[in-house]
Structure 1
Amino acid sequence: MRNINEDTITQAVIASFSDCRDGRLRTVMTSLVQHLHAFARDVHLTEDEWFKAIRFLTEVGHITDDKRQEFILLSDTLGLSMLVMSQNNRKPSNCTEATVFGPFYVEGAPLYNNGEDISNGAKGAPCYVSGQVRGAGGEAIPDAQIDVWQSDEDGFYDVQHLDEAGNVIHRARGRLKGDAEGFFNFRSILAEAYPIPHDGPVGRMLAAVGRHPWRPAHLHFMIEAPGYETLITHVFRDGDKYLESDVVFGVRSTLIAEWKRHEPGVAPDGWEIDVPWYSLEYDFVLNPSEAHA
């Protein structure tokens, strides 16, 4: 290990992994070192730039907590999240495409029955959402568990709001089940475009490279059913001006749908609405798991 120089250090670091018993870990670490060193050589990284990078990553860690995941934002905005997701979620063409998870999923979301209002007072125009969960063969999937979450009309998720006691009140977020034929419906609010949190290091990075922080309007869905792969996806609102420049590169054309505008009246479930309202109908097709295929 003596007299290592810039030409020999890469192989020296790789050789240090020789006793690693985890073959996959050794493969990943070897490639990581090779690419990191190649990057440093390619751009002739300066010490000042390296220290700035360390400071940036430190700031990303400091702002991250149980309500804000800056590392996910960083991965999302660099396209890494979508790349990893795409590599690991290849599906038949008739199945609903997956997209990024995002940093605002919450485990243990409030439970709702079909037809109930998940908005719980969130700001936004009323919206009626319905659809069906099916398998790739066209079969209805009964009792699928459906997690849904979205921002309010101001572009904030519930976890970004705290009450006077510092607690989160869950709004525009819920978990429900499809019925015996796979159908589901719920009441919520209209999806609106919003910026990702950009008051931290990731936001400063975006500004430095001349990028905006906006995401097109969408609903998040996570759908689980025995015998099928879990689907994590969005449904995007057609016509949104950020569809072609989503800051996290998550848009897929098959995931774009129309939110229909209606004058005051009655929704399909009998919900009487005295202001203009919207409806979204979207079906999801799940891929069978290997054990079920």
Structure 2
Amino acid sequence: MVIKTESDLTPAVLAVMNRTEDPRLREILVSMVAHLHAFVREVRLTEVEFREATAMLNEIGQLHTDHHNEFVLMAGSLGVSSLVCLLNNGDRGQTETSQSLLGPFWRLSSPRVENGASIIRSETPGTPL
């Protein structure tokens, strides 16, 4: 397929993604490309902005180690990790999930605290927030 215009691009990429053998992976890739292309069109992403965004993603990738995953942290900041957890573990409107993400304050053998209670374990001056 010859790509002559911007409107030719998405169908060409989707045609390639549709050749993916695994049905679930194909579904994910097709949807990802369609949404990503729609996003780029919606915000009218410039070439400078694209370079800045890819530089940021590259930097995040370089910060990754065996013990520190910046992409997971970014996904958490964007709410993606929580959304995946809730979609896969929520139970008909209940607010708790059978699986829960280990947040930044999780520590092995920490005492149990009720929802809304303080996790501070030392005398801290000032008014609690």
* TM-score (norm: length of structure 2): 0.77
Give the match for residue 63 of structure 2. Answer: 63
| In structure 2, C-alpha distance between the alignment counterparts of 1:53 and 1:93, rounded to whole Å | 36
Contact 1:82 1:100 in 2 (8 A): yes
**Residue 7 of structure 2: SS of its match in structure 1?**
coil
Match of 2:90 in 1: 90
Which structure 1 segments of 5+ residues have no match? 105-148, 151-172, 175-187, 190-218, 220-234, 236-254, 260-274, 277-293
CA separation of 1:2/1:94 partners in 2, compared to 1, >3 Å: closer, same or farther? closer
Greater Cα radius of gyration, structure 1 or 2: 1
Distance 1:20 1:94 in 2: 37
Q: What's the counterpart of residue 99 of structure 1?
A: 100
Shift of 1:3: 3.4
Which residue number in structure 1 is paired with residue 12 of structure 2? 12
Equivalent pair of 2:60/2:70 in contact (CA under 8 Å)? yes
**Cα offsets for 1:152-174 (capped at 9, x unmatched):** xxxxxxxxxxxxxxxxxxxxx25
Q: C-alpha displacement at 1:91, in angstroms?
A: 2.3
SS at match of 1:57: helix
Separation (CA, whole Å) in 2 of partners of 1:73 and 1:95 = 23
Relative to 1, partners in 2 of residues 1:44 and 1:257: Cα closer, same or farther, differing over 3 Å?
Answer: closer
Deviation at 1:16, TM superposition (A): 1.0
Compute the displacement of 1:90 (Å).
1.5
2:14 and 2:59 map into 1 onto residues whose CA distance is 29
Provide Cα deviations, 1:37-64, integer angstroms capped at 9, x if missing partner.
0000001000000011110001111111
Compared with structure 1, are the counterparts of its residues 58 and 94 closer, same or farther at alpha carbon in structure 2 (3 Å cutoff)? Answer: closer
1:171-250 aligned within 5 A: 173-174=108-109, 188=110
Percent identity among equivalent residues? 37
**Alignment map for 1:115-126 (pairs within 5 Å):** none
Q: Deviations over 1:155-214 (max 9, x none)?
A: xxxxxxxxxxxxxxxxxx25xxxxxxxxxxxxx57xxxxxxxxxxxxxxxxxxxxxxxxx
Greater per-residue strand proportion: 1
Relative distance call for 1:29 and 1:93 in structure 2 (3 A) is closer
- The equivalent residue for 2:117 is 258
Deviation at 1:66, TM superposition (A): 1.9
Report if the CA contact (8 A) 1:63-1:70 is conserved: yes
Higher percent of residues as helix: 2
Instruction: Report the secondary structure of 1:256's partner residue.
Output: coil
Q: Is the 8 A contact 1:73 1:102 kept in 2?
A: no
Contact 1:85/1:100 (8 A) holds in 2: yes
| CA-atom RMSD in angstroms | 2.8
Which residue of structure 1 aligns with residue 48 of structure 2? 48
- Please list the CA deviations of residues 121-163 of structure 1 after superposition, one character each: whole Å capped at 9, or x if unmatched: xxxxxxxxxxxxxxxxxxxxxxxxxxxx42xxxxxxxxxxxxx
Q: Is the 8 A contact 2:85 2:101 kept in 1?
A: yes
The 2-side partners of 1:95 and 1:49 are apart by 38
| Contact 2:82 2:101 (8 Å CA) reproduced | yes
Q: Which has the higher contact order (CA 8 A, sep 6+)?
A: 1
Q: CA deviation at 1:17?
A: 2.4
- 2:24 is aligned with 1:31: no
Alignment coverage as a number of residue pairs: 119
